[in-house]
Amino acid sequence: MGQEIERKFLLRAFPDLSGAARQVIRQGYITYPTDGSEARLRQANDSYFLTIKSGEGMTRHEYETRLSKEQFDTLWPATEGRRVEKTRYTGSLPGGLSYELDVFDGHLRPLACVEVEFADEASAHNFDAPDWFGQDVTEDKRYKNKALAVSRAEDLL
């Protein structure tokens, strides 16, 4: 993996999702430090991952490794109280970029956010968001998934 450059927005309105890929995701955080690093477990449909992220803001380092279901199930209890459930829709934007639209469930319902990943920071800064994107929350730490894992929707909306 390496470096990720992405921007995150609240959702103003739902786009047509008929052509979007759909994944059901549950993720939990093994660690919850305040220095910008995190260790996360994620199940996306029938795939399992351990991800380490470091840094803050739009550009961060990310390292991911695939786990077996058994490895995931062994570690999952360590995430109790620091979890997120969501359905992710992945689709295309004009100009060749992709979006990931997350519709949160459980304690975060009815929150919905959309993220776009970029090849470089200049592209991220020059991005002109479609009308259905809402407020840019890229730099708002309350909307990082590790913060959402211990938040409630009514505290954010």
Q: Which one of 29, 48, 89, 99 is the catalytic residue? A: 29
User: Is 143 in the active site?
Assistant: no
SS (H, E, C) 68-80: CHHHHHHHHHHHC
Beta strands (DSSP E) in 12-153 are 21-29, 38-44, 47-54, 59-67, 83-92, 98-104, 112-118, 133-136
Q: Could you tell me how far CA 103 lies from the centroid of its own chain?
A: 10
Q: In whole angstroms, give the CA distance from residue 156 to residue 5.
A: 24
What are the residues whose beta carbons fall under 8 Å from the beta carbon of 96, sequence distance 6 or more? none
Task: State the alpha helices, DSSP H only, in the chain.
Answer: 69-75, 121-125, 145-148
Catalytic positions are: 29
